[in-house]
Amino acid sequence: MVTDDEGVHKRVLEAVMEKMSTFSLTATPPEMAKVIHKIIREVTGNDDPYRLVKGRSNDRALDLYPLMKKIIGTSNDPLLASSKLAAAGNSIDFGVSSESFRDYHSLIEHALSSPFKVDHYGEFVGRLSHSSSLLYLGDNAGEIVFDRAFIEEIENFRDIDVTFVVRGSPIINDATYEDARYVGMERVAKVVSNGTDYPGTIVRHCSREVQGLFRSADLIIAKGQGNYESIDGDKGNLFHLFKVKCPVVAGQLKVNVNNIVFMNRIGMESK
């Protein structure tokens, strides 16, 4: 994506392989990705290799926004429909595939017709009904347009203060403040940076503001597999919403790759 120079490719690979040999087997994928992508940025001299991809993803998702709103508005359960669309948006992940998100309409149709393979939506609605604050941990650019539609429906369902968290600086195609502002997220939520460039949420490394919000929010939505892989501990008020993208996580959850899940880990253990 950055250069066709095979000499640069070789230097990146050598540096990454040398560093990988030092990784702990207990390190999470987001912890490793942070290091790997720092090497890529340093060797290539490009501080945001995915900038153009993020811009295209945001624009293409914004083009679909009116369709999303129409689908949600005509649904028998607008909140459920918007949650499934948000899960569909998690397909926009160029850290997994450079072919992400080519056919938007098929993506939407498949999400609406697919059940959550781990389905704690009912528990989420129950908690939402009694919550005054929501912390929404975002994931990828483009995807955040789908998140915006979901947040709007959450706010239609319940008068609630929403804070949307983005990455502190560029990492893969994860959303930063620049992306959130571009897609109009500030119109529906307070947008804050987590202060890190992990492609996930490692709470102890986040800004003090985000750490405080993580402790105090009535309800938390952690979007994307990176947030699932990186958040330590179980909280009854924390729900993961994502598309399963690798066999390891699929095996943990007893689902298939490409399934969508809306889950609370404590809820998993109680079933």
Q: Domain limits of the chain?
A: 6-44, 53-270
So what's the pLDDT on residue 216? 96
Residue among 160, 164, 159 nearest 221 (CA): 164
Give the three-class secondary structure for 268: helix
Phi, psi torsion values for 161, nearest 5 degrees: -85, 125
So what's the pLDDT on residue 110? 78
Residue among 249, 241, 251 nearest 84 (CA): 241
Q: The pTM is what? A: 0.92
For residue 236, give the DSSP letter: T
For residue 129, give the DSSP letter: T
How far apart, in Å, are the Cα atoms of 144 and each of 20, 139, 160, 186?
Answer: 31, 7, 19, 12
Give the three-class secondary structure for 188: coil
Q: Which residues of 131-155 are buried (b: 16+ CB within 10 A; e: fewer)?
A: beebbbbbbbbbbbbbbbbbbbbbe
Give the three-class secondary structure for 249: helix
SS3 of the chain: helix, strand, coil, percent, to 5: 50, 15, 35
Give the three-class secondary structure for 192: strand
Contact present, 58 and 182 (Cβ < 8 Å): yes
Per-residue pLDDT of the chain (271 residues; tens, 9 = 90+): 889 999 999 999 999 999 999 999 899 999 999 999 999 999 999 999 999 999 999 999 999 999 999 999 999 999 999 999 999 888 875 554 444 445 667 777 877 888 999 999 999 999 999 999 999 999 999 999 999 999 999 999 999 999 999 999 999 999 999 999 999 999 999 999 999 999 999 999 999 999 999 999 999 999 999 999 999 777 889 999 999 999 999 999 999 999 999 999 875 554 4
So what's the pLDDT on residue 98? 46
Class level of CATH domain 53-270: alpha beta
Does the CA dihedral 101-228-238-182 come out positive or negative? negative
Residue among 153, 212, 200 nearest 175 (CA): 200
So what's the pLDDT on residue 268? 57
Residue partners of 119: CB distance under 8 A and separation at least 6: 261, 262, 263
